Amino acid sequence: MAGLFLMPEFAATDNSEATLSQWVVPVGEAFRASDTIVVVETAKAAVDVEADSDGVLLKTLVAEGAEVRVGDPIALLGAVGESVEDMDLVIAELGVVDGVVGTAPPAAADPPATPAPENSSRPAVPVPAGGKRRFASPLARRLAGAAGLELEDLVGTGPDGRIVRSDVELAKKQREQLAEPSASPTAGSFTEAVAPGPSSVTTNRYTEVPHTRLRRAIARRLTESVQTAPHFRVNGRATVDRLLALRAEINAATDVKVSVNDLVVKAVAHAHLAVPAMNVVWTADSVRTFAAVDVAVAVATDNGLLTPVLRGVDGKSVAAIGVATRDLAARARTGRLQQQELEGGTVCVTNLGMYGTHSFDAIINPPQSSILAVGAATSEPVVVDGAVVVASVLHLTVSVDHRPVDGATAAEWMRALVNVLENPLALLVERQEKGRQ
């Protein structure tokens, strides 16, 4: 019997809306359970929405590129071999008004889409009247996201005003032309220049760039974390000359290069195994303790910070961690992460050592219960056997949610982390029951 296919709710995102990026299954085609029916984009990732059971896609209710609220109908599905003579009637009987939910307004209401000549000085970033939603091809959407352009700010020259690849490339070119330095304004004047970015405003006093969806999502999550999770912090420092020497030996002996951060991620997994009370998250009714150690790694992108999760770090080799981390980081920067890759984990590692930062505090990414802030390894005087020597010292700060974790537990964990960083051969020993990955 025909039924509605609803926009699912996505964990790890606060947005009540998502963008329907691409229909994978054509109308009228059958699919099997676990087949991807549609691709949906949240503020942080692309999500493959899979079928719960076998069926057929009878009719789509939402066009590609439309913003849809969670829980709204997006398609009419039927059983395998089922056909419906009057689909509009069935859809109406199921409670869908006008047969369409969440799509953009009719293209006729949009301003005429007239391609601008390449030498035109007209900005390619007019805002549609009333903030209307825009159609765009999946490729154009990805290119616009990579370029920091908002679809709402682009002029579409495709069918019915659809935004296509050439529109994004033209907008990028014109933005570069318009952002070129012009003559300095007369002293005392207040001259507004053309925006260097989509819907931006630049004056001789400031530049204002509107928030992206990702930046809004990050702001909501971190505000929620500070307001709901009582943070406390534990500081530690590790002498890492042996760790740096081990890294050099590994990189000299293998084709896979590992970073200091890869070794720290592995060390975090060892510390979690040594102190299982840190491998937890707080829920409304209980403290949940995990058997395996999943570690999130902070990745800076042009659009904001993302924290993809490495699964089963306790059972991975250092080399495997390095390969997986670089893959996640590369896809994070190009907007190709899947939603499930941003979910889970009990701890996150964020490293600013490459910027020369000595030490810093970080905000927990809920529902994780801790985040480790890693600074640069710097040469400092330390006491060894009663004598002062110069050693490479790594400064560490772990921010912890005090609801599931007590101070003594965090201190014990920091001691375990420092111990494994200072005795790094333990990082090459994997859990036997996990096997090599």
Q: Return d(Cα 407, Cα 402) in angstroms, integer.
A: 8
Of the candidates 346, 205, 337, the residue with the CA atom closest to the CA atom of residue 289: 346
- Cis peptide preceding 367, ω within 30 of 0: yes
Q: 159-168 burial, b for 16+ CB within 10 Å, e for fewer?
A: eebbbbeebb
Per the CB < 8 A criterion, the answer to whether 44 and 214 are in contact is yes
Here the contacts of 285-289 (C-beta below 8 Å, separation 24 or greater) are 287/404
DSSP 282-297: E-SS-EEE-SS--EEE
For 404, residues 6+ apart whose C-beta sits below 8 A from its C-beta are 280, 281, 282, 287, 369
Regarding beta strands 347-351 and 370-384, do their DSSP bridges make them parallel or antiparallel, or are they unpaired? parallel
Which residue is listed with tokens 């395998």?
Answer: 80
Q: What is the helix (H) or strand (E) element at residue 226, kind and residue range?
A: helix 213-228
The residue from 211, 270, 358, 402 that is catalytic is 402
Would you tell me how many other CB atoms lie within 10 Å of the CB of residue 128?
A: 20
DSSP 154-190: SPP-SGGG-B-HHHHHHHHHHHHHHTS--PPPPTT--
- Read off the DSSP letter of residue 278: G
Q: Return d(Cα 176, Cα 160) in angstroms, integer.
A: 27
Q: Return d(Cα 243, Cα 236) in angstroms, integer.
A: 16
| Residue 402 designated active-site | yes
Q: What is the helix (H) or strand (E) element at residue 75, kind and residue range?
A: strand 73-78
Active site positions, annotated: 402
